[in-house]
Amino acid sequence: MTLFGIMGAGGFAREVMPVADEMLAQGFDKYELVFVTTAGSADRINGKLVISEAEFLNHPGDKRYSCAIADSALRRKIDTQMTAAEVRPFTIAAVDHLSLTHNDIGEGAILCPFTTVTANARIGRHFHANLYSYVAHDCEIGHFVTFAPNVHCNGRVVIEDDVYVGAGAMIRHGSEDAPLVIGRGAVIGMGAVVTRSVAAGETVVGNPAAPIRRR
């Protein structure tokens, strides 16, 4: 029996847990699905056992993990730890998630209900697409990228590693010769309308999105 661990026990992890349960039930006769936290506990959250990272890693049988934590740096740290322990991630995809055609989505993605990846998109490891988000054609998305709910990412956009895109943000389409680029570690504010490329590490807000000016 395979042990599947959801790393974290916060709000997003609790939202993801039933999505994972429904998906796994369609592919496995027997499995165990648990929350995994730094300390663990003997308690249950929403009916699921909470165990520590040490307990998870010491489990003698087959085990897989998914990291339901928004912070990309923490996701990277956990990924490094699990890779060293030879534990592979698994992708969580809601039964109503749509991946339409010729997409390449890396391991460890969390694809929540009502999300869509359309055509010819390339997406790195540990991508989060929260409720009602979409990725359109010919996008290239790096590792550890987070979409909050209802993100609209239109075609021919390049999003580099560790980018966070806030709820309701819209990213204008690029072109084949000049894709719109969101640089590594950038933050797109909630409800922002991104009409031009964003530099690495920059935080942009508003409509049209502009960098936050520090006093």
Distant-in-sequence, close-in-space partners of 83: CB < 8 Å, separation ≥ 6: none
Q: Is 137 an active-site residue?
A: yes
Considering the candidates 97, 126, 128, 137, report the single residue annotated as catalytic: 137
3-state class (DSSP) for residue 32: strand
Distance CA 73, CA 12 (A): 16
Distance of alpha carbon 26 from the chain centroid: 22
Backbone angles phi, psi at 136, to 5 degrees: -90, -175
Estimate the share of the chain in helix, then strand, then coil, as percent rounded to the nearest 5: 15, 35, 50
The alpha-helical segments, DSSP class H, found in the chain are 11-25, 53-58, 72-84
131 token code pair = 């409720």
**Nearest by Cα to 117 from 153, 67, 167:** 153
State the catalytic residues.
137
